[in-house]
Amino acid sequence: MSASNEVRRISPSAVRARKGQTPLVVLTAYTTPIARLVDPHCDVVLVGDSVAMVLHGHDTTLGATMEMMILHGQAVARGLSRALLVIDMPFGSYEEGPEQAFRNAARIMRETGAAAVKLEGGVHMAETIAFLTARGIPVMAHIGLTPQSVNTLGGYKVQGRGSDSTRIREDAVAVEAAGAFSVVFEKLPESLARELSAALTIPTIGIGASAACDGQVLVVDDMLGLFTSFRPKFVRRYAELGETAETAIAAYAEDVRARRFPAPEHTFPDEVPSR
């Protein structure tokens, strides 16, 4: 590729500099083909620990492991040429302290080529965020509803309502002061998301936190209608690929049962070279 054709990757500092400009487009991806589809349209592609639920059938994100995040991170990295790749630190890989977090974040970056990690937590994670950023690891923070804490939060409820808004304000200020280059707001009331997005100097990326944020992140399988076990209220479905796939699989099953499949010397008219 000539220098003039070279696609420049979006960096964490470029994401940070987008504050107050065009909203940031963020989607998850877990595989190479989906990464190739989202790359031209997204600023950031997140290998979320939601992979444990969406692709591996776990009930919560607590089932994600370092190995899972690295394997999917490597697959997604192969499909990206433009978007910033961010990988979630899985439950249990960073909470013990800054050294453990550094060791695991460095491994994720080394083995996948990701330029940043995301971790959940506000005030209590500020020391870790500062430790990582001071040592070359850009951190996207994640506050509000933090799904890895589902067992202590008591479910997937909207956070920061009423007097609980103080906790969220403190978390937002703490992660920014610690050096996070951006912060995910999950399930926050619009008024609080608006207030904090105006107060912070880093971009806020909402998921179920309204258009008052500086961008939005969705789980790609949710917005494509591929993950159908449940449907978060805030997700707009842009396609119903689950239904399309089911119809196609049923048609295939019908063809096979009716012996409508070709002998080796026959090909379908639109067939491309097979594996």
Question: Which string of x and - marks every residue 34-73 that binds ligand KIV (by CB under 6 A)?
Answer: ------------x-xxx----------x------------
Q: Which two tokens stand for residue 213?
A: 């944020």
Q: Which two tokens stand for residue 126?
A: 């500020």
Residue number with CB closer to ligand KIV (98 or 144): 144
- What's the one-letter identity of residue 90? P
Applying CB under 6 A, does 129 fall inside the site for ligand KIV?
A: no
Report which of 125, 192, 121, 136 is spatially closest to residue 161, judged by C-alpha positions. 192
Q: For residue 205, what are the contacts with CB-CB under 8 A and spacing of at least 6?
A: 24, 26, 44, 140, 182, 183, 184, 185, 213, 214, 215, 216, 217
**Count of beta carbons in the 10 Å neighbourhood of residue 231:** 11
Residue number with CB closer to ligand KIV (86 or 115): 86
Please state the closest distance from residue 152 (CB atom) to ligand KIV, in A.
Answer: 17
Report which of 163, 234, 175, 164 is spatially closest to residue 199, judged by C-alpha positions. 175
C-alpha 21/C-alpha 19 separation (Å) is 6
C-alpha 263/C-alpha 200 separation (Å) is 64
Applying CB under 6 A, does 112 fall inside the site for ligand KIV?
A: no
Question: Any bridge partners for residue 207, and if so which?
Answer: 186
Q: Can you tell me which of 86, 117, 207, 226 binds ligand KIV, judged by CB under 6 A?
A: 207
- Binding-site size for ligand KIV (CB under 6 A) equals 12
Q: Can you tell me which of 10, 219, 224, 226 binds ligand KIV, judged by CB under 6 A?
A: 219
Please state the closest distance from residue 231 (CB atom) to ligand KIV, in A.
Answer: 14
C-alpha 84/C-alpha 68 separation (Å) is 20
Applying CB under 6 A, does 226 fall inside the site for ligand KIV?
A: no
Q: Could you tell me if residue 211 is left (phi over 0), alpha (psi between -120 and 50 degrees) or otherwise beta?
A: alpha
Residue number with CB closer to ligand KIV (56 or 260): 56
Please state the closest distance from residue 73 (CB atom) to ligand KIV, in A.
Answer: 13
Q: Which of 96, 120, 186, 240 is catalytic?
A: 186
Please state the closest distance from residue 225 (CB atom) to ligand KIV, in A.
Answer: 16
For the question of residue 186 being annotated catalytic, the response is: yes
Residue number with CB closer to ligand KIV (176 or 186): 186
Applying CB under 6 A, does 214 fall inside the site for ligand KIV?
A: no
Please state the closest distance from residue 207 (CB atom) to ligand KIV, in A.
Answer: 5
Q: Can you tell me which of 115, 217, 223, 224 binds ligand KIV, judged by CB under 6 A?
A: 217
List, by residue number, the catalytic residues.
186
